[in-house]
Amino acid sequence: MKVSTKKNDGVSPVIGTILLVAITVVLVAIISAVVMGMTGGIGTSHVVGVKVVAGDNTSSHASLLVTITGGDTTGLQTIAVYNGSTPIGEATSPTVGKPIKFGDASLLAGQGSISIVGQFSDGNQTIYTGTINLV
């Protein structure tokens, strides 16, 4: 008597490999959908170059010159200057390359921690902070 047998030895490993690849693809798709959903609420940022120097401080009124040197200034409405938490002044519609003079002898005496806040039309703010000697 002759017994016939089929050669099915390679079918099971191939099906197992296909199932593992399919499971991996589905998991990657689910994880990437969750991660992309988490980053959806991040707003746009604006990077603006600012040059801050002491102005003509030889008179009785110390001054500070703020110049926007470039960057993403689209929608930049105002810039406000602070010495610590004390407001020094605000300028509307600043222009790239044009120095803006801020000055008050009582607010700009000595070494100051200057902060510049740019307000954009989309609600974002850009902040520069530095220390400058105003004597």
- pTM exceeding the 0.85 threshold for the entire prediction: no
Residues 75 and 112 in one domain: yes
Question: Any idea what the CATH number is for the domain that residue 128 is in?
Answer: 2.60.40.10
pLDDT of res. 129: 82
Place of tokens 């000697």: 133
Residue 24 vs residue 112, higher pLDDT? 24
- What's the total number of domains in the chain? 2
18-27, 47-56, 87-96: the lowest-pLDDT one: 47-56
DSSP designation for 41: G
Residues spanned by the domain of 16 = 11-41
Residue 5 lies in a domain: no
Give yes or no for residue 87 having a pLDDT over 60. Answer: yes
Q: By the 8 A CB rule, do 91 and 51 touch?
A: no
Give the whole-number percent of the chain exceeding pLDDT 70: 73
Asked if residue 1 is part of any domain, the answer here is no
